Amino acid sequence: MPCDLSLYLVTDAALCAEAGLEATVEAAVKGGVTVVQLRDKHASDEAMIEQAKRLKRLLAGTHVPLIINDRLAVAVASGADGLHVGQSDTAVLEAREALGPQAILGLSINTLAQLRDAPIALLDYVGLGPIFATASKQDHARPIGFEGLAELVRACPLPSVAIGGLKAQHAAQVSAAGAQGMAVISAICGQPDPYRAALAFRAP
């Protein structure tokens, strides 16, 4: 299922705590976010399912898909638009079989070896990175920088989104490397005005 990867928001409940997750997502989408990924490593499946259902209602009519990070059961039970998995998460084949052919399915890639081993035919996009080290994810792989991003993009037949410490000023470098979009966490979730933070990524 194709989707616009240009500005991909990965949520962080702690960073959104002051404004609230739903208010942050709503403002960010108005500012230009094109994909929302619900990510919460600490919430129970039940809590995430309820949160995902609320976000689905909020996103209804916006054409912005809701992707769930890692939790296959949550994606299925909530009726989310898709799932994103890492190298040590749910297997891509298992996820595709459970979600069906229409769901959006993404995989995190950090190296050419991981890309070569990826079941490309089952995926809709890949997340490439991290570009920089970032505090938003404590167990991230080694940063690849923009040169590493360009190398992975050249070798990848799928649409790709760059992630890891990116800010609005990096948009031109991500585009030059050939990625279709940027995934961000703290650059929007951690900002006092998520609408303007998202808008800054869309500025020419």
Residues placed in the known binding site: 37-41, 69-70, 89, 108, 134-137, 165, 185-186
**Which residues does 13 contact at the CB level (< 8 Å), separation at least 6?**
21, 40, 42, 43
Cα maximum dimension of the chain: 42
Q: Which of 6, 39, 96, 160 is catalytic?
A: 39
Half-sphere exposure of 63 (CA within 13 A, CB side): 6
Task: Give me the long-range contacts of 58-64 (CB less than 8 A, separation at least 24).
Answer: 58/22, 58/25, 58/26, 59/25, 59/29, 62/29, 64/29, 64/33, 64/34, 64/35, 64/36
Q: What backbone torsions phi and psi does residue 69 show, to the nearest 5 degrees? A: -85, 120
Radius of gyration of the chain from Cα atoms? 16
Q: Are strands 66-69 and 160-163 parallel, antiparallel or unpaired?
A: unpaired
Q: Which of 6, 78, 108, 160 is catalytic?
A: 108
Is 137 an annotated catalytic residue?
yes
Pairwise CA distance, residues 39 & 70, whole Å: 8
Q: Which of 71, 78, 96, 137 is catalytic?
A: 137
CB 1, CB 82: distance < 8 Å: yes
List, as residue ranges, the binding site for Mg(2+).
Answer: 70, 89
Is 57 an annotated catalytic residue?
no
Active site residues: 39, 108, 137
